[in-house]
Structure 1
Amino acid sequence: MWLAFLTLCGFLFSSSAADEIQEKCYGNSLTLPSKYAPAVYKGQLYFTPSNGGPQRLMLENGKAKDRRLDDLLFNIYIRDLRVEDEGYFSVSHDGIQQFRILTLKVLDCADEVHKHYGDTYTYRVPSKAEFLEFTPLKSSDQLKILWNRSDSSVSSNDPDSPVRAFSNDFYWERRYLTQKHNGYYNFREKHNILISRLHLKVEENEDSLIGKVGRHLRITFPWARDDWIGTFRPESDPDFSMTIKRSRVPKIWFEDRIQVDSDGMDIDPVESSDAGIFEFRDEEGNLAWVLDLKVEDDNLTGIKYAAVAAVILLAVVTCCCCYCKRRRRKRELATPALLNYTTETPAASPAAPPAVHHRGRSQPPTYTTASVPPASTSQTVNSHASNRTTDTSHEPPVGVYNPVSIHLNPSQREMSVPTPPISSGFLTSDAELRFELKGMTSPSSLPLSSESTVCDVYNSDKLNFR
């Protein structure tokens, strides 16, 4: 029964010990949950670092086992967090089974400062700061005190970073910066409390230069030093490199065309093979200056510009020709349509044959609808009738009616068709019919008597007009 009780208690304890994740900046403090304070919790508290170090016992039976713990009665504090404090905390009630309660991540919240080789950096010292410590970037274990307010002898040990007093303020100044000054600078007050943290990054200077083939080139250093070491990597062969010193100028690549002094170097005359990267370092190996040398040939440059101008001119001429050709094609396509619209006339339709009269029946003439005039136009055929007796025949005299083709333009308001001369008493064989169309009405040449039973004039509702 006691075994079951202990198992139940362990289960309840493990369920309450949830893993919590906290992120803290470098130099801040961490407070553990109050239920694990020595006045309440009597078990074990362990810490396991993330860097793979050994596990440490920090608290047992209400007593501190690590010097980093503070105020152990009602709370547990870990002050001045460092990178090595990153890891997780676990507890155990029997010293055997452990349960994680908190995971700590230490963040780098320092203010970044970017400078170049040879620059000077000045920083105002906080009023509560008592000392300045420096941790190099390459080796974080080499902590160095650069300044101490109560001990002036510390500042004299580092002449490159003096702290000077201006009025009531103190200013820290780092002169002639190089890559060896890269790292973290921490200003702390009493009891090692962090006030401000700086991350200084010193980078090399970068420049580019253009030389002309066959001319003199002067490369001037941004500083005058005798201990620098140069390295040249030609553009034509990146795998090849050569060292250039003032005391030893190589003759393999430049032959006798290079001269070196404390302020710079001269190349005379410049060749196309001199293009490449020059790197200059101090005697400590700090990279100071990177120069990218480009070499141009005036003759090739002129040819290049001429080729570019020719290509541009050819493109302009091609565009103009295409534009003119397109305009000419549009005009050619538009001209036939204009001619058809202004000069085209409807084709004349063939004349319809005259109506043939037979005894007892008549066959109406056929006409082309395209040449039929509007139905609203009234037409009257005037002819002179001779004295005839009553006859049952409706056949017209031979030679009297001839096919007549009349071209009627809708735009004409009046049209007259010439009529043959009419004799006084009869129609001759040479006589031709004359039609008159004027306006909407046409007067008859001879009135018809109401007593006449035979139509002496050939009338038709449809005439073949073209």
Structure 2
Amino acid sequence: MLLLLLMGASFGVGLSYDSYNELDYGTTYKMLLHRNAQYIAFRPEYDSNAVILWERNNPSASDNSRQKVMGSYYVISNLTQRDSGHYIIRDSAQNILSTRTIVVVASTKSDAVSTGKEFSFTFDLEPKFCNIYFFPKSDSEVRNDIVHQGRLQKSLDESDCSGFELLKPCGISNKAIQRSCSGHFEVRDQNGDKALVVMLHVETKHYDPSYLAIAIAACLAALFCCCCVKCCCCGKRSSENDDSKTSAARPAMHHHAYDGEPARTHYPAQPSYTPTGPLIHHPPAVNMPPAFEISAPAEKEDAPTVPLCSDHEPRFEVKGLTSTLPLSSDSGFCDVYTSDKLNYL
């Protein structure tokens, strides 16, 4: 029972308590107001003097547009380092109801890239309030101005770390970062408060053995394919040369179209014999035997190609002028008829 009485008394007079909050630059903080709260006083982190931020009977006393009461909360938007400090809430009797400690820090990030790679960052800050500085790792006391009030500085081209371009709203980019850019970058507002700190480590580019092995394998495969293509071309040319030589050495052959019948031997027609002068001077009248009608034997499929001699049809030959050739190339007779009546020589 005694414990309950003590707790009720504590709530009746308003028990004070403290809180500590570390917040990033640019964030929003909401502070719950006690129902008996009458004042909110602010004492900066490094200052003993306190100022009144809010008074219930005079809500418009504060001239800071980023700080206002919304329902049961006292809201501070777009925090900066200037908002770091102690917020003391008092009642009408000036008793402390609560104390809230806020510490605003810059947002931080770390990045590691290889030389020649792209590097960039940006921050949500109005361009006219944008300032970016670079502090090299080799000498962190040296400050290089990259952007001032939203404008890229030309003097940066004279430093070892150069080649930057401006990014909106407040940032920079480098298409091929250099090793001399190892260090940290700071984004600050118009009051010099740190909004963002970027730690950069630029690594020397190393060749990956796996990529090297893949490249070597690809080269060997390409070389092998080229050799195979070359060998195939050489073999084809050699085969073509052998075929041409074989065709040249092979005797020409005449091909006849076969239409189902055996081939027939055709002899060229001999020109008709026309004597240019008389063979016999003053030949006497001679009774010549009757002319015989000559007909060629019928052709058979298996008949020999050489004409056969007839056993029943004679031919005439002048006695004393024996000739092995017939009187005509078309003659196919073997019988010889010898007559003394034609021998005038």
d(CA) in 2 for partners of 1:266, 1:279: 14
Shift of 1:252: 1.7
SS in 2 for 1:299: coil
SS in 1 for 2:128: coil
Shift of 1:221: 2.3
Identity in percent: 24
| Contact kept? 2:88, 2:99, Cα under 8 Å | yes
Q: Give the paired residue count.
A: 192
Match of 2:266 in 1: none
d(CA) in 1 for partners of 2:161, 2:23: 37
| Contact kept? 2:112, 2:203, Cα under 8 Å | yes
Q: In the TM superposition, what are the counterparts of 1:228-307 in structure 2 within 5 Å?
A: 228-245=130-147, 246-247=150-151, 248-249=153-154, 250-253=156-159, 257-263=163-169, 264-299=171-206, 302=208
SS in 1 for 2:180: helix
| Contact kept? 1:235, 1:276, Cα under 8 Å | yes
In terms of Rg, which structure is larger? Answer: 2
The amino acid that maps onto 1:179 is Q
Shift of 1:112: 0.9
The amino acid that maps onto 2:188 is R
| Contact kept? 1:234, 1:274, Cα under 8 Å | yes
Match of 1:134 in 2: 42
Q: In the TM superposition, what are the counterparts of 1:364-379 in structure 2 within 5 Å?
A: none
d(CA) in 1 for partners of 2:168, 2:126: 6
Over residues 294-342 of structure 1, what are the superposed CA-to-partner deviations in whole Å (9 max), with x where a residue is unaligned? 2123325x37999xxxxxxxxxxxxxxxxxxxxxxxxxxxxxxxxxxxx
Structure 1 residues 292 and 304, CA gap change in structure 2 (3 angstroms): farther
The amino acid that maps onto 1:257 is G
Structure 1 residues 256 and 117, CA gap change in structure 2 (3 angstroms): closer
2:92 aligned with 1:190: yes
> Bigger CA drift: 122-131 or 205-214?
205-214
d(CA) in 2 for partners of 1:216, 1:223: 22
2:56 aligned with 1:149: yes
Q: In the TM superposition, what are the counterparts of 1:340-419 in structure 2 within 5 Å?
A: none
d(CA) in 2 for partners of 1:121, 1:236: 38
Over residues 358-395 of structure 1, what are the superposed CA-to-partner deviations in whole Å (9 max), with x where a residue is unaligned? xxxxxxxxxxxxxxxxxxxxxxxxxxxxxxxxxxxxxx
Runs of 5+ consecutive residues of structure 2 not aligned to the other structure: 1-15, 213-345
Over residues 92-133 of structure 1, what are the superposed CA-to-partner deviations in whole Å (9 max), with x where a residue is unaligned? xxxxxxxxxxxxxxxx97321111111100011000011111
Runs of 5+ consecutive residues of structure 1 not aligned to the other structure: 1-107, 307-466
SS in 1 for 2:127: coil
2:122 aligned with 1:122: no
Tell me: higher relative CO, structure 1 or 2? Use CA pairs within 8 A at least 6 residues apart. Answer: 2
The amino acid that maps onto 1:126 is H
Over residues 379-418 of structure 1, what are the superposed CA-to-partner deviations in whole Å (9 max), with x where a residue is unaligned? xxxxxxxxxxxxxxxxxxxxxxxxxxxxxxxxxxxxxxxx
Over residues 142-194 of structure 1, what are the superposed CA-to-partner deviations in whole Å (9 max), with x where a residue is unaligned? x2111111112214x221110122xxxx2100100011001111111112111
d(CA) in 1 for partners of 2:22, 2:140: 30
| Contact kept? 1:226, 1:262, Cα under 8 Å | no
| Runs of at least 4 residues off by over 6 Å | 303-306
Shift of 1:233: 1.6
SS in 2 for 1:191: coil
Structure 1 residues 190 and 206, CA gap change in structure 2 (3 angstroms): same
d(CA) in 2 for partners of 1:198, 1:305: 57
SS in 1 for 2:57: coil
The amino acid that maps onto 2:30 is T
Match of 2:111 in 1: 209
Structure 1 residues 130 and 276, CA gap change in structure 2 (3 angstroms): same
Match of 1:227 in 2: 129
Match of 1:60 in 2: none
Match of 1:457 in 2: none
The amino acid that maps onto 2:43 is T
TM-score by length of 1: 0.38
Over residues 271-294 of structure 1, what are the superposed CA-to-partner deviations in whole Å (9 max), with x where a residue is unaligned? 111111111211101111111112
Match of 1:422 in 2: none
> Bigger CA drift: 252-261 or 201-210?
252-261
Q: In the TM superposition, what are the counterparts of 1:42-191 in structure 2 within 5 Å?
A: 110-141=18-49, 143-155=50-62, 157-165=63-71, 170-191=72-93
d(CA) in 2 for partners of 1:116, 1:256: 29
| Contact kept? 2:17, 2:98, Cα under 8 Å | no
Structure 1 residues 230 and 298, CA gap change in structure 2 (3 angstroms): same
SS in 1 for 2:157: coil
Match of 1:200 in 2: 102
d(CA) in 1 for partners of 2:136, 2:210: 24
RMSD: 2.6
Structure 1 residues 136 and 239, CA gap change in structure 2 (3 angstroms): closer
Structure 1 residues 240 and 149, CA gap change in structure 2 (3 angstroms): closer
The amino acid that maps onto 2:166 is V
The amino acid that maps onto 1:117 is Y
SS in 2 for 1:295: strand
Shift of 1:204: 1.1
SS in 2 for 1:298: coil
Shift of 1:228: 2.3
